[in-house]
Amino acid sequence: MKNYTSINDISDINDWIAEAKELKANPLQNIELGKNKTLGLLFFNSSLRTRLSTQKAALNLGMEPIVMNVSGDAWGIEFEDGTVMNGSTAEHIKEAAAVVSQYCDVIAVRAFPSLTDKQKDESEQILSAFVKHASVPIISMESATGHPLQGLTDAITISENSNKKKVKVVLSWAPHIKPLPHAVANSFTQAMQKMDVEFVIANPIGYNLNKEITKDTPIYHNQEEAFKNADFVYAKNWSSYESYGEILDVDDNWTITKDKIGDAKFMHCLPVRRNVVVEDAVLDSENSLVITQANNRTYAAQLVLKKILENV
Amino acid sequence: MKNYTSINDISDINDWIAEAKELKANPLQNIELGKNKTLGLLFFNSSLRTRLSTQKAALNLGMEPIVMNVSGDAWGIEFEDGTVMNGSTAEHIKEAAAVVSQYCDVIAVRAFPSLTDKQKDESEQILSAFVKHASVPIISMESATGHPLQGLTDAITISENSNKKKVKVVLSWAPHIKPLPHAVANSFTQAMQKMDVEFVIANPIGYNLNKEITKDTPIYHNQEEAFKNADFVYAKNWSSYESYGEILDVDDNWTITKDKIGDAKFMHCLPVRRNVVVEDAVLDSENSLVITQANNRTYAAQLVLKKILENV
Amino acid sequence: MKNYTSINDISDINDWIAEAKELKANPLQNIELGKNKTLGLLFFNSSLRTRLSTQKAALNLGMEPIVMNVSGDAWGIEFEDGTVMNGSTAEHIKEAAAVVSQYCDVIAVRAFPSLTDKQKDESEQILSAFVKHASVPIISMESATGHPLQGLTDAITISENSNKKKVKVVLSWAPHIKPLPHAVANSFTQAMQKMDVEFVIANPIGYNLNKEITKDTPIYHNQEEAFKNADFVYAKNWSSYESYGEILDVDDNWTITKDKIGDAKFMHCLPVRRNVVVEDAVLDSENSLVITQANNRTYAAQLVLKKILENV
């Protein structure tokens, strides 16, 4: 594997999960693998847990993480070819990506969508440009359309917490006061499609995710129906994909409650707005896996880094 | 010791001072103790010397420091229980503290007071919440009411520079153009009360510190009287505690001068406004210990980290 | 060597280039030299490649880099002696430099010019104050009038890419939309004057650099004439030195083109505005050395750090 920019880069998800569990059991087993190698963490958008977990993963492999907080405005990167750069952009991505490649053995990039220009967001301008112009491997730390480190994390967490052969997993849309990206929901969907689970999505009318991602995954517009016999309920808000980036009026109350999910395990990528996305009684119960998910972010990142380092 | 959030966490200050001196004499003696462990430094307020000295202390113990600059506004942490989080807060402290605990073996937190709401400041909302909700040890890097790393530093510095059995130490209020917190003065007072020194405080009327901190420490409103036979003069500005957070009109000139302190050693936690808090002639004299204090910040932090690491 | 603040600090440039090439061939040969030592990187102005390359250089020597982004405004450093600091400055450089020296074994400083006050810029207020008041070695990461790490990089790059005994090197002014400093041009000029090359400068009338830097280096106002038989063309914009900090009206088109430079190697310190400073055809050709220069930044910084560490 050269780059890790999508759940599609996972060759065999069961093998990967098994390997991640081994890393978790003994996190320092590959401490020599990344010695004297640097991981550049390039944030076009802010981050807390992604930054910390990826730094921790790098340290567990003996790598030196170097964090760079760059706002697109401050750096002013040009992406178009042939432009006369006499405006607001000060450096072309060709140079930017090649230069960072001189100092970092692996580059991890975070770049969120605009949520206003669907076509531009789906082109993954920043991430794709790094893949094209960098001379070292690229890892997505959440891009416009995917968050594959989170998706891998969630697959590991579900596997760890499954106590029967084939579990039922529901991804449920939940309310939020701001328009949010589709990245986490997309990558979670793709990860579940690769696993041997019964996977369904519940969301209000108008909130269907990109059909190219959901494919033939069943979509319910009735949350109660979707939750029947669920073993895992994964809550996440996203803005409308059809009415791109908009927040629509929703009739029912989609907040996740203890009553609704019963004994199902609860998952969320965090940060989570309590009593908006999910009520306290769920988060504070033993069925909440959110902190375990946060912990598993380290081992997902460590697994990806390990596979990349073994390949360079 | 699990946490270090107050001078009261020091079991025996003389033992601690002796151990800090040993660390200073041979700073790398415990370089294996923190190996493959991370120290998260969480700054809700900006920092230069606290950050540098604590990073240096962590490195001397083989730990990996990870700095996070978070403004309360940007992160938007919710502290109240049961709130419907549909406003400006985006993550509850329960999740925030638990999540950071997944990636950091020890968490150090800096969070200043508002100086407008005494009750809220004294509740130490941020620091207490981390102590309560984090699963790893917490160190204060200055909170609303205390700066125990500075207080320990000052105790070490006084011990190092005492040439007689029982020295006289004066904490003197000094002028400043902005309303400043009481944290440094409080922790210094608590540290001196634990040491075998003659300790008095000099401050203008209206500037008495919290009585629960000063206890039976003598307070002079006449600086000259307080300075008589002083071996150490520690200057610090603080805003009024009674008229909480206010700057009061003061009759006398409280700037520290060479004339006033004579041969006493001069101390200040820095940064210091020259010729406002203290005149050049004092800072530039051989009796100034301010750079030694800055240096000892490293060993105070290193001692605290060592004691915590030995306990985990 | 104690400090590295100017190309003049290079004793013998040919020896230095030879040593840098050895480091590049085996970057980890001195990995023990900087062990348990810290490099403080103090940025009064923002940085990407300088920060990354200097961090990488430090890591290659086993040092721990500590990055501090300080805006002059935020820190509010006082430089004047004897001032009553009751205004916007909160810490005197005497304390600031001495304090940072307690935590860092070497301090690297970046501080750009105002481009409005020539005399103040040429006094190198910030850099000189650190040299004077710090107790540890100081490295310039670009100051008001020089960028000696870049100049050393460029000397190494030219040496590596010279295929004949005495090459001709041209430093050419090129267009830009903003007024830029003279630092890169100055240090490049000084580096070339120390090497055994034929060195000339091409710039429009009104754009001559400081005569004390250019000395007897030939200056052409006709770019075509200057480029005749050039082996290396180094492009850089700078604002007027005579009409200090201004952008002047220029008659000719000074953009570097393939037609103009023919088979000469092209150099630029980056970031570069494409099709303003230089056309795509040059940057995308095999004669462009800009990425090699970026790479050599690491070894220039590493050489300087090595020489300083060997001396402390």
Whose CA is closest to C232, among C290, C299, C277, C298? C290
Residue A91 within a domain: yes
Structure pTM? Answer: 0.96
What number of C-beta contacts closer than 8 Å exist between A and B?
73
Pair (B284, B306) in one structural domain? no
Residues 14-53 of B with CB under 8 A from C: 28, 31, 46, 48-49, 51-53
Pair (B30, B91) in one structural domain? yes
Q: Render pLDDT for C138-183 as a digit per residue (tens, 0 to 9).
A: 999 999 999 999 999 999 999 999 999 999 999 999 999 999 999 9
Pair (C140, C200) in one structural domain? no
**Contact at CB, B59 and C36, closer than 8 angstroms:** yes
Whose CA is closest to C56, among A65, A309, B10? A65
**Contact at CB, A78 and C177, closer than 8 angstroms:** no
Nearest by CB to C271, from A64, A90, A103: name it: A90
Residue C168 within a domain: yes
Mean pLDDT for C248-271 is 96
Query: Residue C292 contacts by C-beta under 8 Å, 6 or more apart in sequence?
Result: C157, C160, C161
Chain C residue numbers touching A89 (CB-CB < 8 A): 273
Q: Which domain holds residue A301?
A: 7-146+297-309
Q: What is the pLDDT of residue C222?
A: 97
What is the nearest CA distance from A91 to chain C, expressed in angstroms?
A: 5
Mean pLDDT for C85-111 is 96
Whether residue C86 contacts residue B273, with contact meaning beta carbons closer than 8 Å, is answered with: yes
Whose CA is closest to C161, among C25, C288, C22, C19? C288
Chain A residue numbers touching C272 (CB-CB < 8 A): 91-92, 95
Pair (B140, B198) in one structural domain? no
In B, minimum Cα distance to A272 occurs at: B91
- pLDDT, averaged across chain A: 96
What is the nearest CA distance from C59 to chain A, expressed in angstroms?
A: 7
Residue B152 within a domain: no
What is the nearest CA distance from C180 to chain A, expressed in angstroms?
A: 13
Q: Render pLDDT for B139-162 as a digit per residue (tens, 0 to 9).
A: 999 999 999 999 999 999 999 999
Q: What is the pLDDT of residue B67?
A: 93
Pair (B107, B174) in one structural domain? no
Pair (A192, A260) in one structural domain? yes
Q: Render pLDDT for B223-273 as a digit per residue (tens, 0 to 9).
A: 999 999 999 999 999 999 999 999 999 988 999 999 999 999 999 999 999
Residue B104 within a domain: yes
Q: What is the pLDDT of residue A264?
A: 98
Segment holding A173, helix H or strand E: strand A168-173
In this predicted structure, the answer to whether residue C72 has a pLDDT above a threshold of 60 is no
Residue C33 within a domain: yes
Using the Cβ of C115 and the Cβ atoms of chain A, whether some distance falls under 8 Å is answered with no
Q: Where are the beta strands (DSSP E) in chain C?
A: 38-43, 64-69, 77-78, 91-92, 106-110, 138-140, 168-173, 198-202, 219-220, 232-236, 265-267
Pair (A244, A186) in one structural domain? yes
The two three-digit tokens of residue B267, written as one number? 């101390």
Whether residue A163 contacts residue A129, with contact meaning beta carbons closer than 8 Å, is answered with: no
**Contact at CB, C103 and B298, closer than 8 angstroms:** yes
Q: Render pLDDT for B73-87 as a digit per residue (tens, 0 to 9).
A: 667 899 999 999 999
* Strand, helix or coil for residue B281: helix
Q: What is the pLDDT of residue A312?
A: 81
The two three-digit tokens of residue B55, written as one number? 């990073």
Per the structure, the count of domains in chain B is 2
Pair (B82, B175) in one structural domain? no
ipTM: 0.95
Residue A2 within a domain: no
In C, minimum Cα distance to B57 occurs at: C103
- What is the pLDDT confidence band of residue A183, given thresholds at 50, 70 and 90? very high
Q: What is the pLDDT of residue A76?
A: 86
Residue C2 within a domain: no
**Contact at CB, A102 and C59, closer than 8 angstroms:** no
Using the Cβ of C103 and the Cβ atoms of chain B, whether some distance falls under 8 Å is answered with yes
Q: What is the pLDDT of residue B199?
A: 98
- What is the pLDDT confidence band of residue B3, given thresholds at 50, 70 and 90? very high
Chain A residue numbers touching C177 (CB-CB < 8 A): 86
Using the Cβ of A112 and the Cβ atoms of chain C, whether some distance falls under 8 Å is answered with no
- Partners for A (CB, 8 Å, 3+ pairs)? B, C
In this predicted structure, the answer to whether residue A135 has a pLDDT above a threshold of 70 is yes
Q: Which of A238-247, B28-37, B41-50, C6-15 has the lowest mean pLDDT?
A: B41-50
Chain B residue numbers touching C64 (CB-CB < 8 A): 59
Chain B residue numbers touching A60 (CB-CB < 8 A): 36
CATH number at residue A240: 3.40.50.1370
Pair (C53, C18) in one structural domain? yes
Nearest by CB to C103, from B52, B274, B284: name it: B52
Nearest by CB to C36, from B28, B55, B298: name it: B28
Chain A residue numbers touching C273 (CB-CB < 8 A): 85-86, 89-90
Nearest by CB to B98, from A274, A291, A297: name it: A291
Q: What is the pLDDT of residue A70?
A: 84
Chain C residue numbers touching B51 (CB-CB < 8 A): 68
Whether residue A105 contacts residue A312, with contact meaning beta carbons closer than 8 Å, is answered with: yes
Sign of dihedral through CA atoms A249, A253, A257, A260? negative
**Contact at CB, C103 and B270, closer than 8 angstroms:** no
Whose CA is closest to A288, among A133, A129, A157? A157
Query: Residue C58 contacts by C-beta under 8 Å, 6 or more apart in sequence?
Result: C34, C39, C64, C65, C301, C305
Distance in angstroms between the alpha carbons of the first and the last residue of chain A:
9
In B, minimum Cα distance to A175 occurs at: B86
**Contact at CB, A99 and C49, closer than 8 angstroms:** yes
Pair (A128, A20) in one structural domain? yes
Distance in angstroms between the alpha carbons of the first and the last residue of chain C:
9
Query: Residue C201 contacts by C-beta under 8 Å, 6 or more apart in sequence?
Result: C170, C171, C172, C173, C189, C209, C214, C217, C218, C219, C220, C226
| Interface probe with B: pick from C85, C93, C100, most Cβ of B within 10 Å | C85
Using the Cβ of C85 and the Cβ atoms of chain A, whether some distance falls under 8 Å is answered with no
Using the Cβ of B88 and the Cβ atoms of chain A, whether some distance falls under 8 Å is answered with no
Mean pLDDT for C36-56 is 94
What is the nearest CA distance from A84 to chain B, expressed in angstroms?
A: 36
Pair (B283, B302) in one structural domain? no
- Partners for B (CB, 8 Å, 3+ pairs)? A, C
The percentage of chain A sitting over the pLDDT mark of 70, rounded to a whole number, equals 99
In this predicted structure, the answer to whether residue B71 has a pLDDT above a threshold of 80 is no
Residue C154 within a domain: no
Query: Residue A82 contacts by C-beta under 8 Å, 6 or more apart in sequence?
Result: C275, C280
Chain C residue numbers touching B298 (CB-CB < 8 A): 102-103
Pair (B47, B136) in one structural domain? yes
CA gap B209, B201 in Å, rounded: 9
CA gap C299, C57 in Å, rounded: 7
Query: Residue B154 contacts by C-beta under 8 Å, 6 or more apart in sequence?
Result: B188, B191, B234, B267, B269, B293
Using the Cβ of C274 and the Cβ atoms of chain A, whether some distance falls under 8 Å is answered with yes
